[in-house]
């Protein structure tokens, strides 16, 4: 395994890991560990260091996945508008260029209903909507692609 991969695995596990702890785990100097992390940032491999929140602890217990079909002329504008709403956790434009895949978090079924009614239902450019609520999380990926 390369040093780059080893550093990324450590940071995926704990982005707050000190350079001293990283150096101990990797058997290198603290300065070298810091230099390699900075290079990953400079090269754009690491876009940002962030916090992973537990939505249940924040009262966001309703996790829903939406597949939304949009008329192509309105796809990008709709994606931008929806991405600005606090309920949308992630949003993807799919390869057919008329579908959005959206993950939302709300604190109640009523709030999910309000979000759907205000943002999707009754809009002439929304041609289809499939909404599924999460029942249980079996596997959760953090930190991007596997290394």
Query: Any idea where the domains of the chain sit in the sequence?
Result: 3-42, 55-133
Give the per-residue pLDDT at 115: 97
**pLDDT digits 0-9 by tens, 90-100:** 999 999 999 99
Calpha distance 84→66 (Å, rounded): 16
Average pLDDT, rounded, for the chain: 89
- Cα distance between residue 35 and residue 19, in whole Å: 10
CB distance 125 to 70 below 8 Å: yes
60 or 65, higher pLDDT: 65
Residue 58 three-state SS: helix
* Residues 133, 129: Cα–Cα separation, whole Å: 13
Q: Using an 8 Å Cβ cutoff, are 66 and 130 in contact?
A: yes
Per-residue pLDDT band for 49 (boundaries 50, 70, 90) equals confident
pLDDT per residue as tens digits for the range 7-32: 988 888 888 999 999 999 999 999 99
Cα–Cα–Cα angle for 61, 100, 123, rounded to 5 degrees:
90
Looking at residue 145, its pLDDT comes to: 58
What topology does CATH give the domain 55-133?
A: Alpha-Beta Plaits (3.30.70)
């Amino acid at each position: 395994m390369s040093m780059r991969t080893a550093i990324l695995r450590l940071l995926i596990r704990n982005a707050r890991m000190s350079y001293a702890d990283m150096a101990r785990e990797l058997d290198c100097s603290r300065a070298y560990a810091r230099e390699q992390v900075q290079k990953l940032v400079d090269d754009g491999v690491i876009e940002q260091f962030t916090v992973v929140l537990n939505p249940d602890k924040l009262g966001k217990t309703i996790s829903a996945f939406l597949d939304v079909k949009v008329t192509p002329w309105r796809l990008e504008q709709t994606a931008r508008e929806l991405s600005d709403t606090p309920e949308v956790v992630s949003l993807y434009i799919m390869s057919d260029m008329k579908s959005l895949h959206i993950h939302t978090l709300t604190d109640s079924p009523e709030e999910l209903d309000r979000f759907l009614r205000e943002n999707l239902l009754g809009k002439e450019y929304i041609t289809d909507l499939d909404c599924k609520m999460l029942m249980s999380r079996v596997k959760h990926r953090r930190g991007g692609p596997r290394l």
